[in-house]
A and B are shown apart, each in its own frame.
Chain A
Amino acid sequence: MSARALRSIAVTLGAALLGIIGVLAGLWCAGYPPATVVPTWLAAAAGNELHLAGSLQQAGPLLCAGLATAVAFRANALNIGVEGQYLLGAITYVGIGVHVGHAPGVVMIPLLLLLAMASGAGWALIAFVLERTRSVPIVLSTILLNFIAVALVSYLIEGPLHDPVTSAPQTEQLAPGLRLPVLIAGTTLHVGVLVIAALAVVLWVAQSRTVFGYELAVVGANERVARLTGIRVERVRGLAMAISGALAGLGGALQQAGVTHYMSDGSVSYGYAGIAVALLGQLHPLGVAAAALYFGMLDSGSAGLERHLDIPHDVGDILKGVVTLVVLIAAVVQWRRRPWSGP
């Protein structure tokens, strides 16, 4: 491992530690000493098998959204639309799933997952095509496509996909055959999380060992030199956006198939959190995995704080924000501090 990589890991860990210390100090001022906060937190995040399973399950969709963001960001395609692509994937799985409940799951689950990936990729490619043909920046179009995706999902949930037995805006439940098997009984840790973890490894290998992964890095670092050396920049960026959207769509579908089993208007999407996870993981698949696990543990840990100490679980969100900010600041400072080289 190069000195560069070691240093960026050290900086990230340092930033995470700094953020934790800051939030602990804040809680201390509010009357919760670290001596009670830290053990409660750790117990809720990873105290026993069930809690650890909860953290891992929570990390799954974060990891998928984080990987989706990282792939696009590496090619300098600022896909902020993982949120929308995730929702598209989720509604595709549920929307079609509730209509084909009697088909065998062995066939239907992979098929539905592929369809979800295709819809996420399609949603992402709208932004890419707009950039190529009409020069609309991806960062703008993906944000706006998020709004459209949210509205589209609301419409489907309240309209064509609405569960007739309830007045609440939600879809019918997926048939048991379309739900993912649970790994540890009594938890929601499902097979999909393993799939996502395997994908992180696949992406890591692809990035470091394949020519396409290399081209992605070159396009992200400098499009002009990429073009000059014959890299098909548009193709690389288009593929990056498609992979990004497909991952986001898969994340949404797995979450519905593994955890929620239906969609409601208030469905939590992990798209925006994925941006923070990707940045915290320095866009490296394994870094993103570590960041997602950290975020997952924060989520279940702060839920524990709320249960036992009556501290609002928003503390976890604050900590995520603080840590991400500190890491970004550290990255900028590192960049500025590089030895000044004369012309």
Chain B
Amino acid sequence: MLSLEGIAKAFGATQALDDVSFTLERGSIHGLLGENGAGKTTVMRILFGLERPDRGVIRIAGTAVRITSARQARALGIGMVHQHFALVPSLSVAENLVLALGAGLAGGRQAALQARIANLGAELGWPIDLRARVGDLAVGQQQRLEILKALLGGGQVLILDEPTAPLTPLEAADLFRVVKVLASRGTAVVFISHKLAEVEAVCDRLTILRRGRVVMSGPLAGMTRGRITELMIGAAVVAPVRGAARPPGAVLLDLEQVSVADRQRRERVHRVALQVRAGEIVGIAGVDGNGQTELVRAILGQAPASGTIAIEGVASGAAHGATRERLGVIPEDRQQDGLALALSLTENLLMKARNQAPFSSCGWRHRARWQAQAQALIADYDIRASGPEQPAVSLSGGNQQKVVIARELSPQPLVVVAVNPTRGLDLGATASVMHRLLAARARGAAVLLVHSDLDELMQVADRILVMSSGHLSDSTWPACTREHIGALMLGEQPAVAGTGTGVGAQRP
């Protein structure tokens, strides 16, 4: 019913899309796969009227249409749910609807609009409380609201951009259910994802983009994971291999009775005890917002905490600050916390080494040595950039993460703290991040990996603990099943602990 024919789009010298053609059919769930920078998001922005194609036609039911604005896309029945929701947290659900769709509508029509969305929600099994404040809703509920909003234009086409990234496994399962219901009612759903398992679970058709070109478009049936991966990245990804467990070394990161309260004095972390030893990766699993962020902030000295935090044997106190600066930190939000986006790669890569010989002496920078070091790191960590003077902002997400990792891990820190280090990265970049963490472990670093992706955690972690409502569980991995861990993440206390069988079979 909707087809793209020969779409091309260039940004400056970069050909983002080149002769992209595929068809979305009524009632099908169409997976759109590709690495970061392959052009997925650009395709969708064109479809939703946020970018104009340089060449090519979009046809709906055979008629060529020009989509020049999001408003027009909505009128054509195309709805899109972005990764970052367009909601105002301080307003109610009803007020957000008015803001998004009905500004200027008379009261009666607004009421009709609200009734429609409530009905639609009820039909899909998503009860919506119009008076609730959006900020009080869980992320999953906010996403439901966004999906309902996107469907109000008529629901011919629904574009979901990485919809499961913020969801718990249960919420994701519910999303898949609804997506299937929508497809059965005739909506063409576009499902953008990095996760092959999800694509296999819901999609019936598939388009794979690589470097702005369509390399495959057709039914999912008959495609193997290996084949899909190969098409996406042009070569098989080497999965991270953990290697044999090492005898536990000295405790390098030691938390005792650590509690953290937020600004409103609510306790976000409750008396956590945690030891990470040399040569092991300890994973902390959990749904976002259960205290992981606060725990890491406490370790980094960014939030006041009670209890003791000892790094490399130095407990909180006068000498602690200098020890803390030796930590290798891969922060959750690389753009906010990991990089100075406006500055060059050289300036980003040498932030930690800025005062060290041979890069500086007596407060003076040796600029040639800075440049040479940056070049060496760029080569070492396979950062794809035009040169060390390129500003960090112009790099893709995966390469930005490599810059952070190169800066943080190249001084060979004894303790590494990483938070969701693969979020938003494609398969190749994810594998490279995990390889780096495993390499740190292999040379004897203590690695604390806070991660909401359980599959990836199970690939690399020696132990996994679960954080839920500020409490940290005992080690669950490899003793427990995936289901057991999932239950802990949702705050349930599984009746029988540690009855794991067939754990290995769960590993992807």
Contact = CB atoms under 8 A, between A and B. Distances in A.
Interface residues of A, number: 27
Contact of B42 (A212, A214, A342): A342
Contact of B40 (A227, A339, A342): A342
B63 interface: no
A218 B424 contact: no
B354 A210 contact: no
B449 interface: no
B364 A225 contact: no
Contacts of A224: 336-337
B64 interface: no
A343 B38 CA distance: 11
Contact of A211 (B365, B391, B396): B365
Contacts of B343: 217-218, 221
A342 B342 contact: no
Nearest to A339: B11
A228 B331 contact: yes
Contacts of A230: 325, 352
Given A2-B389, A224-B336, A339-B11, A215 B341 contact: no
Contacts of B12: 339
A221 B329 contact: no
A338 B424 contact: no
Nearest to B83: A343
Interface in A193-214: 208-212, 214
A238 B83 CA distance: 39
Given A228-B331, A342-B396, A209 B354 contact: no
A342 B352 CA distance: 28
B14 interface: yes
B338 interface: yes
Nearest to A3: B389
A221 B354 contact: no
B59 to A, nearest CB: 25
**Interface of A (DSSP majority class):** helix
A209 B391 CA distance: 19
Contacts of A231: 351
Contacts of A225: 337-340, 351
B141 interface: no
Interface centre among A215, A224, A229 (most CB of B within 10 A): A229
Contacts of B365: 209-211, 214
A228 B325 CA distance: 8
A338 B302 CA distance: 33
A340 B340 contact: no
Contact of A215 (B329, B354, B424): B354
Given A4-B391, A228-B329, A342 B37 contact: yes
Contacts of A135: none
B337 A228 contact: yes
Given A211-B354, A214-B354, A342-B41, A222 B339 contact: yes
Nearest to B400: A341
A120 to B, nearest CB: 24
20 contacts: A4-B389, A210-B363, A211-B360, A212-B363, A214-B354, A217-B343, A222-B339, A224-B337, A225-B338, A225-B340, A225-B351, A228-B338, A229-B352, A230-B325, A341-B37, A341-B394, A341-B395, A342-B40, A343-B36, A343-B162
Interface of B: 11-12, 14, 36-37, 40-42, 51, 83, 162, 300, 302, 325, 329, 331, 336-343, 347, 351-352, 354-355, 360, 363-365, 367, 389, 391, 393-397, 407, 424
Given A217-B347, A222-B341, A228-B329, 14 more contacts: A4-B391, A221-B343, A222-B340, A224-B337, A225-B338, A226-B340, A227-B302, A230-B325, A231-B351, A339-B14, A340-B42, A341-B394, A342-B37, A343-B41
Interface of A: 2, 4, 208-212, 214-215, 217-218, 221-222, 224-231, 338-343
